[in-house]
Homo-oligomer: A and B are copies of this chain.
Amino acid sequence: MHHVGQIKIKKGMRVREIIREMGKAGVLGAGRLARAVEVTREIFNDEDYTCLLGLAGPMVPGGLRQVIRDLVDKNYLDAIVSTGANITHDIIEAMGYRHKTGRIDADDPTLRRLGFGRIYDINVEMKAFEALEKRTYKIVGNIPEDLRRNISGYEILWEIGKRLRDENSILKTAYRKNVPIICPALHDSMLGMNLWTYSTFKTLRINFFKDLSKLVEISTEAKKVGAIIIGGGLPKHHLLVSNTLRGGLDAAVQITMDRPEAGGLSGAPLEEAISWRKIKGKNRIVNLIGDATILFPLIVAAATDGG
């Protein structure tokens, strides 16, 4: 047992400094955040580590697009496992559409009439999805038919990324950096719906086994694998399960607001994953409870800062 230190605020304090203070306290959320920074810093700086990012929840619409893109650009990430939604929203931003601030007490039938989809306090113009459909058809049409017969999700996303003109796009940057974006249910998204309709009149067959092979290959070839898991859901499970063949992740940080008692994976503490051989041990895992749009930028700022 250590003493719980008291956090001290100073003028002009840097992010890494305030988190160091939280580490002195070492308990409750403050202690977990400091520990998450420590583990993330190790994953980012130790060259033996391959780093995976799990991405669920509206992280791109919620303002983390640039943060994620910059991490790819600066070579911190080796693969991303994401919901289809975050991919879709990256593309519509790249096409010039913007997410807008909304209200949690909005009247949804009214928004529907006005042509907006709501994500908590974020609004998205539905016409962005019409433009997306056209763009998707055009891009996919340019993929050689041979490849389209048996293409992985990550290959489609690279093909799309290659053709986007926005340097701030996660997809474009991931293509440029050769970082695969694994979207294990890519068809379950607005982009995926477009791919599906395309497949009803032209050749397109997505082979998700190829995505899984890619992810397993990355994990098994790595000396060590670390993961930062934002939100739960399919990305969390897929990222974890693809690491069972190597006996589990070496280090992991998860950020979630879900709770464990209902038994779902999203709220499960990372400790459970040890029993399943999805994580190796207790030493380098942190369960951070809170809002990722606050916590992830703080972690990135502190973990990538000199020190």
Residues of A within 8 A of B (CB): 1-15, 18, 21-22, 24-31, 33, 56-58, 61-67, 70, 85, 98-102, 104-106, 108-109, 111-112, 116-123, 150, 168, 184-185, 187-190, 193, 195-196, 199-200, 204-209, 212-213, 231-234, 237-238, 241, 244, 256-268, 271-277, 281-282, 289-295, 297-298, 300-301, 304-306
Contact = CB atoms under 8 A, between A and B. Distances in A.
A275 B29 contact: no
Nearest to A298: B18
A39 to B, nearest CB: 16
A104 to B, nearest CB: 8
B12 A57 contact: no
A18 B21 contact: no
B112 A29 contact: no
Contacts of A33: 294
A166 to B, nearest CB: 11
How many subunits of this chain does the assembly comprise? 4
Nearest to A208: B187
Contacts of A31: 63, 101, 121, 293
Contacts of A98: 3-4
Given A24-B63, A29-B293, A57-B263, 13 more contacts: A6-B66, A9-B70, A9-B300, A13-B301, A18-B301, A26-B101, A28-B120, A28-B293, A109-B282, A118-B272, A185-B185, A185-B208, A261-B291
Contacts of A200: 209, 213
A164 to B, nearest CB: 15
- Interface-centre pick from A3, A108, A184, A237 (highest chain B CB count, 10 A): A108
A150 B62 CA distance: 38
Contacts of A274: 108-109, 111-112
Given A63-B7, A120-B272, A297-B21, A185 B238 contact: yes
Contact of A212 (B6, B85, B184, B187): B187
Nearest to A256: B262
B119 A263 contact: yes
A305 B187 CA distance: 39
A252 to B, nearest CB: 13
B22 A63 contact: yes
A63 B11 contact: no
B241 A193 contact: yes
Contacts of A104: 260
B30 A63 contact: yes
A209 B206 contact: yes
Nearest to A193: B241
A29 to B, nearest CB: 3
B275 A112 contact: yes
